[in-house]
Chains A and B, each alone.
Chain A
Amino acid sequence: MRHPGPRPSAAPGVDMSRERADDAYIFTDLGGPVMSEADLALLSLPTRELDIMLGEALTAGEFGAKDLSDTEKEAVARRWLTTELDRIRDAICGSRVRTIMFGAETEKRNLLFAAVADALGSLRGLPVPVSVLSARLIQYGLDRICGADIPAAPDGP
């Protein structure tokens, strides 16, 4: 089990693995309960772990003649992020995330996390858990994604 807590939600604000308890969620000004503690724990995971989780989600419906290694799942995640970068950028860089991002102090990281997840939630057909993707993007640096200098793969997100 890679994730330290319950399974990350498939949609922002949803954790199906336990009873909902209001005090287990961070409330923001974005309209109600947004991220569970388990989701917030994603922020402290190493980038590699997040990439493996993304890769697992992206290959979940596949069949193969051998197991995919963690390294291969990482590669799948990196390629997908590169492919989807424009769509992700459109979703998060023009939204209120930007306001929070550039005014963010450290204690607002959780709020930023919720805002990114909220913005990504507007993207249709995302084949990965939004919370995991949000954590991954924040770790990479929203300023790098929304700024002018976007590095290309493999150094990209």
Chain B
Amino acid sequence: MDWIAFVELTFQPPLMDLETAVAIAGGRIADPADLYDSISAEEFAIVEVWLTNIQKIIDDLTKGAECERISAVLTRSPTLALRMRPLDDGSVVLLVPIGVIVRIRLLAALLLIYPDRDYVMRIVAPLIDERPESDWELPPRLRPIFGEFVDDDHHWQLLGRFASEWAPEPELNLTLREVTWSAMTYVVMHEVAHVLRGHLDANLRKLQEDRLGHALPVSDHEFRRALELDADTWGAALFLFTVEITFDQWKTPDHRAIAFHYIGFAITLLFGMYDTRRKALDLYAEMVYPHPVVRHQLFLRATNGHLSARKPEWLDDWQQHEFTGWTRCVRAFWRLDEDAFIGEFGLPSQQGRQWVPVTALNYSIADSSSTDGQLEREIALLEGVDRLLDSWRQAS
């Protein structure tokens, strides 16, 4: 038995070359026409320009830092999950599925058509209620946006059908580009934060500590969750920094008002889209990511902190207009739930099954103390693990 080989195997994550990593993430996009018209050639070209620009920003951010080089690659997967992984040449690849971009765009088009007004009926349940997954079902016509995929081509067909059925009005295109830019830039900066904050090394160090039998003050899932909280926090700051350096025109209050409104809308949409399964706050206690309501609160905490330090003159505008964007998106989600409930997006596949809200972003006064308490616990965890990582950095 080659024990050294075994130790190496267990110490290291599976490193692979760039092409294998891209292949298992869905492969490169050979031809945008291959995406069943879920995105037009013009919009696809804009996505490619966005990726080129974001790569330049990533290069600038990582140039002076002692960290791995990051390459962003667009893949053909219809998944919602953007991933980042280390490669065998010491660099890192950021795998950006075109699926998440298409889904954000289509969902934004759907939500933006709902009038921005309140209404009396809400279909929600308290976040503290646990619901078995067997009770929920996504309305069939919303599955292309929120649902998982069985195979790539089948899901692209569904997205293509959805795009033709809910084709956005041409006058919405500019707004949709802003929303998609904001959501995607934030999620990319979350991944960049993992690299800049040394999380890849931290992961390896954690494995070493485990192997040496050293007891750490946090469990495995708490450790990983803290890294995600850290990436959310620093990703939010990097995102606003990117906004600041990308758009000169946002220096005027009028432009800032519009920009911050759509950023608020986009980030809320992203968190709302990301988890359609677990609605109850308690179901997030043992997972890697906090509840979307809590994640959004953390986003606000991080962005307010960043602007207070760097751009205090923007802070009032930010708080005012991000809030209107958040409100608009949450209300639109409620309207979407209402339409789902009355059968606008199809009927349940089995008798006795029921719709639950398409998003976990359900707010109610009754839940506020629970979510505030959870937020405080997340911050305490983040600070605890931050101290641990600092001690590791100093020791090395």
A residues apposed to B, CB below 8 Å? 10-11, 13-14, 16, 57-69, 71-72, 75-76, 79-80, 83, 125, 127-128, 154
Q: Which residues of B come within 8 Å of A, CB atoms?
A: 1-2, 5-6, 9-10, 12-16, 20, 23-27, 77, 79-86, 88, 148-153, 187, 190-191, 194, 199-200, 203, 227-228, 231, 274-275, 287-289
Q: Can you list 12 A-B pairs, Cβ within 8 angstroms, ordered by A?
A: A10-B6, A14-B6, A59-B85, A60-B13, A61-B12, A61-B86, A64-B82, A64-B191, A65-B82, A66-B81, A72-B148, A75-B149
Please state if B24 and A58 are interface contacts (CB–CB under 8 Å).
yes
Q: Within the assembled complex, what's the spacing in Å between the Cα atoms of A63 and B85?
A: 6
Shortest B334–chain A CB gap in Å is 22
Give the shortest distance, in Å, between A8 (CB) and chain B (any CB). Answer: 12
Of the residues B2, B16, B148, contact of A127 by C-beta under 8 Å: B16
- Which residues of A sit under 8 angstroms from B199, Cβ to Cβ? 63
Q: State in angstroms the CA–CA spacing of A69 and B149 once bound together.
A: 10
Is the beta-carbon distance between B15 and A61 smaller than 8 angstroms?
A: yes
Interface contact A72-B227, CB-CB below 8 Å: no
The verdict on A65 contacting B190 (CB below 8 Å), with A11-B5, A72-B81 known, is yes
Could you tell me the distance between the alpha carbons of A83 and B22 in the complex, rounded to whole angstroms?
A: 11
Cβ-neighbour of A66 out of B149, B227, B275 (below 8 A) = B275
Residues of B within 8 A of A127 (CB): 14-16
Q: Assuming A14-B1, A83-B23, is B84 touching A67 (CB within 8 A)? A: no
Residue on A nearest B204 in the bound complex, by CB: A61
Closest to A60 in B: B13
Chief secondary structure at chain A's binding surface: loop
CA distance A86 to B378 in the complex (A): 46
**Assembled-state Cα–Cα distance A68/B100 (Å):** 13
A62 touches B152 (CB 8 A): no
Taking a contact as CB atoms under 8 Å apart, the answer to whether B79 and A72 are in contact is yes
* Residue of B79, B191, B274, B275 most packed against chain A (CB within 10 A): B79
A36 to B1, CA, bound (A): 14
Q: Contacts A58-B14, A75-B149, A79-B24; is A65 near B86 (CB within 8 Å)?
A: no
Contacts of B2 in A (CB 8 A): 11
Contact in complex: B289, A61 (CB < 8 Å): no
Contacting residues, chain A, for B9 (C-beta < 8 A)? 10-11
B10 CB contacts on chain A under 8 angstroms: 10, 16
**Residue in A closest to B9 when the chains form the complex, CB atoms:** A10
Interchain CA distance A69-B151 in the complex, whole Å: 13
Chain A residues whose C-beta falls within 8 Å of the C-beta of B14 in the assembled complex: 57-58, 60-61, 127-128
With contacts A61-B14, A61-B86, A75-B151 taken as known, whether A83 is within 8 angstroms of B187 at the C-beta atoms is no
In the complex with contacts A11-B6, A72-B148, A65-B23 CB distance below 8 A: no
8 nearest CB pairs, A to B: A61-B13, A127-B14, A71-B148, A62-B85, A80-B24, A79-B24, A63-B194, A64-B83
Q: How far is the CA of A57 from the CA of B86 in the complex (A)?
A: 14
User: Closest CB-CB distance, A125 to chain B, in whole Å?
Assistant: 8
Apart from A11-B1, A67-B289, A75-B79: 11 A-B pairs, beta carbons within 8 A: A58-B14, A59-B85, A63-B194, A63-B199, A63-B200, A65-B81, A71-B150, A75-B151, A79-B26, A127-B16, A154-B152
Query: A63 to chain B: which residues have CB within 8 Å?
Result: 83-85, 191, 194, 199-200, 227-228, 231
Q: Which of B10, B20, B275, B287 is the most central at the interface, judged by chain A CB atoms within 10 Å of its CB?
A: B20
For A57, the chain B residues whose CB sits under 8 A away are: 14
- A65, B274: Cβ atoms closer than 8 Å: yes
- CB pair B16–A64 under 8 Å, yes or no, is no
B288's closest neighbor in chain A, by CB? A67
How far, in whole Å, are A60 and B186 apart by their CA atoms in the complex?
Answer: 23
Chain B residues whose CB sits within 8 angstroms of the CB of A16 once the complex forms: 6, 10
A21 to B150, CA, bound (A): 42
By a CB distance below 8 angstroms, the chain B residues around A128 are: 14
Give the residues in chain A near B27, CB-CB below 8 Å: 79
Q: How far is the CB of A39 from chain B (nearest CB, A)?
A: 15
Question: What chain B residues lie within 8 Å of A125 (beta carbons)?
Answer: 15-16, 88
Bound-state CA distance A75–B156 (Å) is 14
Give bound CA distance, A79 to B81, whole Å.
Answer: 16
Question: How far is A64 from B193 in the complex, measured between Cα atoms in Å?
Answer: 11
Give the chain B neighbours of A69 by CB distance below 8 A.
Answer: 148
B residues in contact with A58, CB < 8 Å: 14, 24
The reply to whether B227 and A13 contact each other, CB–CB distance below 8 Å, is no
Q: Enumerate chain A residues within 8 angstroms of B190, measured Cβ to Cβ.
A: 65
Closest chain B CB from A7 CB (angstroms): 10
Q: Give the residue name and chain of the B residue nearest to A57 (CB).
A: B14
**Would A67 and B287 be within 8 Å (CB), given that A59-B83, A60-B14, A128-B14 are in contact?**
yes
Q: How far is the CA of A33 from the CA of B223 in the complex (A)?
A: 37
| A11 → chain B closest CB, angstroms | 5
CB of B26, distance to nearest CB on chain A (Å):
7
Closest A residue, CB atoms, query B23 = A83
Task: Please name the residue on chain A nearest to B14 by beta carbon.
Answer: A127
| Chain B hits for A75, CB < 8 A | 26, 77, 79, 149, 151-152
Alpha-carbon separation in the docked complex, A62 to B10 (Å): 15
